[in-house]
Amino acid sequence: MNIGPYRFENAVFAAPMAGVSDAIFRRLAITYGASLAVCEMVSANAMLYESSKTRWRLKHLDDNTVRSVQIVGHDPFMMAQAARLNVDDGAQIIDINMGCPARKVCNKLAGSALLIDEPQVERILDAVVNAVNVPVTLKIRTGTNPRQRNGVRIAQIAQRCGIKAIAVHGRTRACRFKGDAEFDTIRQIKQAVALPVIANGDIDSATKAREVLDYTGADGVMIGRAGQGAPWIFEQITAYLNDKKIVGDPGVDERGQLLLSVLEQMYRLYGEYSGVRRARKHISWYTKGIKGSNEFRKNVNVVESSAQQFKMTDEFFKTQVAIARIAA
């Protein structure tokens, strides 16, 4: 599938996730086969009046990948400005967030709250597309609430404005993360527009990715939560979509090595204080489901030094590897 001049052989995308899809997360996703990993959203406002959180979000490591930066906001002029600044800073794709239900964002009629105001959607898309000479993509939910699923009309507006691809999370704004994602609206959107459509929502395995692609006719899939602490899902999905090859989950040894390398990168990127705190959710994700991990998480989550956090994690996985060897 193409987004403007960029061709993606495997249309498996890593979703933007605020507080998660930082440079470290994105690099891992790409290493495991994601075609593109979108940055966490940055507010157009913050972009223009730079905050330190925004700087972290915009931090890019030396990747050999296409850099897609997501912006969120309600004012067409500011969104256009933010898009321009990001392109000047190296963004190769600008992604517009009209999918986020977070109150912090929606109070200002931004993110998915904008879906209710179709003329404003059009003004924003027009302004951003005309402001930059790189492809602009859009991420939406299926509508405002289950009685008002206007995703098809939004996609048609997007197409008219020159948006180059649209990612659709199969829930409405009102649904937040409740219930199951639905794929009927995504299928309707695919039938209604010619631009590439990327299906998103609850895709947590290679077989589910295949089913969603078959049902919706979408051009690609976008994976969010299932990639947290499990970057290998991108390899599993691409292998299955390409050759029907089943790739299993890595063993506890590989999982541990991967987590330790994430921790090291966290300390390097964010420093001692923030690195330790940000690392905690990764430790939770990577140890989820491992016997005895509840107790371990309780203990490691109160630790304040990177050296101690790293050592405890290392020891936990060494013990797990030994247990696995004895059991084998």
Ligand X SMILES: Cc1cc2nc3c(=O)[nH]c(=O)nc-3n(C[C@H](O)[C@H](O)[C@H](O)COP(=O)(O)O)c2cc1C
- Which residues here bind ligand X, judged by CB under 6 A? 15-20, 40-41, 70, 97, 99-100, 139, 169, 200-203, 223-226
Q: Tell me the residue number closest to ligand X, measured at CB.
A: 224
Helix, strand, or coil (residue 157)? helix
Triad 303, 305, 311: Cα angle to 5° = 80
Q: How far is the CB of 20 from ligand X (least distance, A)?
A: 5
**Rounded distance between C-alpha atoms, residue 97 and residue 78, angstroms:** 14
Query: Is 209 within 8 Å of 237 (Cβ atoms)?
Result: yes
Catalytic-role residue among 39, 100, 161, 175: 100
Q: How far is the CB of 38 from ligand X (least distance, A)?
A: 8
Strand partners, 13: 36, 222
Cα first-last separation, the chain: 43
User: From residue 36, how far is each of 21, 140, 234, 310 by CA, in Å?
Assistant: 12, 17, 11, 29
Q: How far is the CB of 134 from ligand X (least distance, A)?
A: 18
Comparing CB distances to ligand X, the nearer of 184 and 304 is: 184
What's the gap between Cα 299 and its chain centre? 29
Comparing CB distances to ligand X, the nearer of 139 and 187 is: 139
Comparing CB distances to ligand X, the nearer of 139 and 190 is: 139
Query: Is 170 within 8 Å of 200 (Cβ atoms)?
Result: yes
Annotation marks residue 175 as catalytic: no
Helix, strand, or coil (residue 68)? strand
Comparing CB distances to ligand X, the nearer of 224 and 231 is: 224
Non-local (6+) Cβ contacts of 14 within 8 A are: 21, 25, 26, 29, 30, 34, 36, 37, 38, 222, 223, 224, 227, 234
Strand partners, 169: 141, 200
Q: How far is the CB of 131 from ligand X (least distance, A)?
A: 20
Comparing CB distances to ligand X, the nearer of 76 and 101 is: 101
Query: Is 226 within 8 Å of 203 (Cβ atoms)?
Result: yes
Indicate which residues carry an active-site annotation: 100
